[in-house]
Copies of this chain bind each other. A is one copy, B any other.
Amino acid sequence: MKYYSGVDLGGTNTKIGLCNEEGKILHSSSIKTDSIHGVEDTLERIWLEIQKQLTEEKLTKEDLSGIGIGIPGPVKNQSIVGFFANFPWEKNMNLKEKMETLTGIRTLVDNDVNVIAQGEAIFGAAKGHKSSITVALGTGIGGGIFVDGRLISGMTGAGGEIGHMKLVPDGKLCGCGQKGCFEAYASATGMIREALSRLYVNKLNALYEKFQGNYETLEAKDIFEAAAAGDVFSQEIVDYEAEYLAMGIGNLLNIINPEVVVLGGGIALAKEQILEPMKQKIRKYALEITLENLEIKTGVLGNEAGILGAAALFMLS
């Protein structure tokens, strides 16, 4: 049996898990990332934690076949991090090399959403399939494209940046500074922005009743709840969301024609409300041939996706 460490390097916390080649997590724990003390400090503490886990599982360094690391930012050649989103660490850093020098263990690094896509492809919802696209629908929209056993990471690590595919010429301003991005329409943020815009001119609805004009804490969840309870205003926002989701995913089907689409993140939790209407609407956007035998599923790895995916970087499907 081979063993791997999966590391999910987050802005605040870093999750570390010791996995076997079958995708079983033997041991997992979390440490503070504390990126402010510099990359060397964080990597040393990660390595200490990995060694602790090995000892507790009665394994040694020699039993460890690889360390996989998922990070928030673009990664080139599973080695060089273009930049760390929200970390005060240098640009174009060869994180693979740093970790290998420190540990003597083969290391692979990839973008956090790509890592989730790899995890779903190897151990999760797309297991056993040759190609899949994992779409993370949260505050933003991220994606990971898996074809013939490999992630499409791109020349500069921006492969799968599907949230910035433009769906509307000169459309809504996106957080990235460009306009009309998929993410500006179909993320949780996009849904809230659309609700706020409509609420400005409509007060005869359940959301107004609930928040009384103070929308600072309004979340996508509130909209789904109001829609489920019969509020037409909220139902129309969910419908708007499903339409753009269908358009964005339909585009990906025409370009990649994968076997499986895996949907994750907060929005995907609203299965019946958003995924079923989206599946109907996608026929407007995807070529019929791309829908033959296509499976659209929700992710199954949940909170463990980051750890399992990082470990899965060493495995082919």
Contacts and interface: CB of A to CB of B under 8 A. Distances in A.
Interface of A: 74, 82, 130-131, 143, 145, 147-148, 150, 152-162, 164-169, 176, 178-179, 243-244, 247, 250-259, 284-285, 287, 289-290, 292-294
B257 A156 contact: yes
A155 B169 contact: no
Given A152-B147, A167-B169, A158 B254 contact: yes
A254 B156 contact: no
B292 A254 contact: no
A289 B91 CA distance: 12
Contact of A251 (B74, B179, B251): B251
Contacts of A290: 154-156, 158, 161
Contact of A257 (B150, B161, B293): B161
B131 A176 contact: no
A74 B289 contact: yes
A257 B155 contact: yes
A155 B287 CA distance: 13
Contact of A159 (B74, B256, B293): B256
A178 B148 contact: no
Assembly stoichiometry (copies): 2
A155 B178 contact: no
Given A178-B284, A284-B178, A255 B156 contact: no
B158 A257 contact: yes
Contacts of A251: 165-166, 251
Contacts of A179: 284
A285 B182 CA distance: 12
Nearest to A131: B155
A131 B153 CA distance: 11
A155 B133 CA distance: 12
A255 B292 CA distance: 22
A156 B293 contact: yes
Nearest to A248: B166
A164 B131 CA distance: 20
Q: Which 10 A-B residue pairings sit nearest by Cβ, starting from the closest?
A: A154-B257, A158-B257, A159-B257, A165-B251, A161-B254, A164-B254, A155-B259, A158-B289, A158-B290, A156-B289
Contact of A167 (B155, B166, B250): B166
Contacts of A157: 257, 289
Given A162-B254, A165-B254, 10 more contacts: A74-B289, A145-B256, A154-B290, A155-B259, A155-B293, A156-B257, A166-B251, A169-B243, A251-B251, A255-B255
A255 B294 contact: no
A190 B303 CA distance: 46
21 contacts: A74-B289, A145-B255, A154-B257, A155-B258, A155-B259, A155-B292, A156-B290, A157-B257, A158-B287, A158-B289, A159-B257, A161-B254, A162-B255, A165-B254, A165-B255, A166-B247, A166-B251, A166-B285, A169-B243, A176-B287, A179-B284
